[in-house]
Structure 1
Amino acid sequence: MKFRSFVIAAALGLATALAGCTAGGPLKVFTSDYGTVRDAGYQLPRIPINQVPRQYHRQIVTYDTKEKPGTIIVDTGAKFLYFVMEGGKAMRYGIGVGREGFEWAGTARVAMKREWPTWTPPAAMIGRQPELAKWRGGMPPGLKNPLGARALYLFNKGGDTGYRLHGTPEWASIGKAMSSGCIRMMNQDVIDLYNRTEIGAKVIVKR
């Protein structure tokens, strides 16, 4: 019996090691942090967070990974973004991801960070949605801007990936696949992530 117990324990340990990044239950949930926020002259409206599934509320979770603290890991399948912290923990945020045909995966770095960024729709997007041509020169910052309150710009060895981690006024899109490839976050969450993230931070996007 002792030998059998040892074999089972060893198998479980191997399975955990092979799993790579694994997340446990919440240690702290920040459901009360989605109220009205005054920021840089703008007033972000309260998010009716009770209408957002609880798993997508910002929370600290146990998280097993070999990546160093400060790394961002995006799980597009589960619709979670993890900011790796010390002590086997991570701050987990609910996200919206690219719709079918716009998914992507890979490793990048945060090359730039912008508060209340200007949004410039790519030429391909204007081709699909001609009504966006009026913003060819850039849509000014504001509460209706698709990039929301903050944006983190992702670059790799080839330069600008064109993808961003950014806020959105469309809080109901969190947990869904609706974007053109960028990772959407509730504005209150992207401000929190922005304040934690350093330029040069590693970003891993997994499908």
Structure 2
Amino acid sequence: MLQYLTVPVTAFQQNCSLVWDDATGQATIIDPGGDLPHLLAQVERLGLKLEQIWLTHAHIDHAGGAGELAGQLGLPIIGPHREDQFLIDTLPEQGAAYGFPPALRFTPTRWLEEGDTVQIGGETLHVRHTPGHTPGHVIFHAPRRQLAFVGDVLFAGSIGRTDFPRGDHQQLIESIVTKLWPLGDATRFVPGHGPESSFARERAGNPFVGGT
């Protein structure tokens, strides 16, 4: 069965998630924005075999540690969608602008597209391309767990910012309505920042998308 642990990292308190198949201990890490020693200590504490890095998008607080971690452990970087390459190319500049440690540029081992799947151990997650916060943003959906890792698309009581380069508010709303809501009201989600919620709760009470 799929298990996960969410670990806030960096001064931005970005939710980095360790996700693993408890039958095998094989694990991936979603959005390692920084604080790598702390994240690796959690991997060791849980006795996991870290095998992949998955990215929802390429803002510094989500992707800032990906290049270093990949190089350190020889891990593939999976995602995001190729439309975020321009952000990966500017990771060092993003880091300098926001006071992060030096970040490495990289080319993902595999870009992700709408309808792709990713695998960790015996667990399969489905990929949805959800532009708006960034043009290459993706989310990961685990249907057997009714669980989604949604990055900065949707939060408890809020939605992702669209005032960054190539952000698009209308596109973000469309991503939420057409890509997230069809996953079902019972689906819980881990956002890029803040507490978990469910699609039912956000559809009912989120002031930005409630009632959509």
Structure with the bigger percentage of helix: 2
Structure with the bigger percentage of strand: 1
Indicate the TM-score class for this superposition, using the shorter chain for normalisation: under 0.3
Q: TM-score, normalised by structure 2?
A: 0.23
Structure having greater relative contact order (Cα 8 Å, sep ≥ 6): 1
Larger radius of gyration: 1
Q: TM-score, normalised by structure 1?
A: 0.23
